[in-house]
Amino acid sequence: MSIMPISVYGDSILRERLKPVKIVDDELIENLQDMFETMRVANGIGLAANQVGLNKKLFIVDLRGIEEYSDFKPLVVINPEIIEYSEEIITMEEGCLSLPHLRANVERSEMIRLKYLDTDEEEQILDADSWLARVILHEYDHLIGKMIPDRVDARTKNHLKGELINIMKRDVDVDYLLTDR
């Protein structure tokens, strides 16, 4: 396994709509293993493929670092589709490995229903709420080219402007690899 550099705000791949995965092969499994290792080293709980330079519609989630999810089985989500959103909206602070040190309150549905493929190319349906729903929605946003600054009001985004510029310049202190400019 190898550690992959993480794309940051301003990198064009983070704004692309990603291509569906056509087949789960050895290369994809290796990419997924590298993504899990990269996420672990960066102390993340979710990571989308484009955050490590891959134009593939997939993400991973591992919530075992959150107390109530200590028994959580890491999740690989391929070609996801959110098929249901709850009307109940919860606002919580979020961060992102592609936005080092930046935190902002983001509104998200409390519960969702997700359809996706697993690594055996079997269709799965997952009902998620709380932290799991939030992380899935956050990572799903990456797959459609959205990030935290797109989910906040104009005043908050304006307040974050200086931090976003520093991130684009890679003028941030992190304990993980970032992509080159």
Is 139 a residue of the active site? yes
Buried b / exposed e along 2-11 (16+ C-beta atoms within 10 A): eebebbbbbb
* CA 100/CA 9 separation, integer angstroms: 9
Q: N- to C-terminal Cα distance for the chain? A: 24
* 178 Cβ neighbours under 8 A, 6+ residues apart: 5, 6, 7, 8, 100, 170, 172
160-164, long-range: CB < 8 A, 24+ apart: 160/102, 160/104, 163/99, 163/101, 163/102, 164/9, 164/10, 164/99, 164/102
**Which residue is catalytic, options 68, 81, 93, 139?**
139
Spatial distance between the Cα atoms of 35 and 25, rounded to a whole number of angstroms: 15
User: Which residues are identified as catalytic?
Assistant: 139
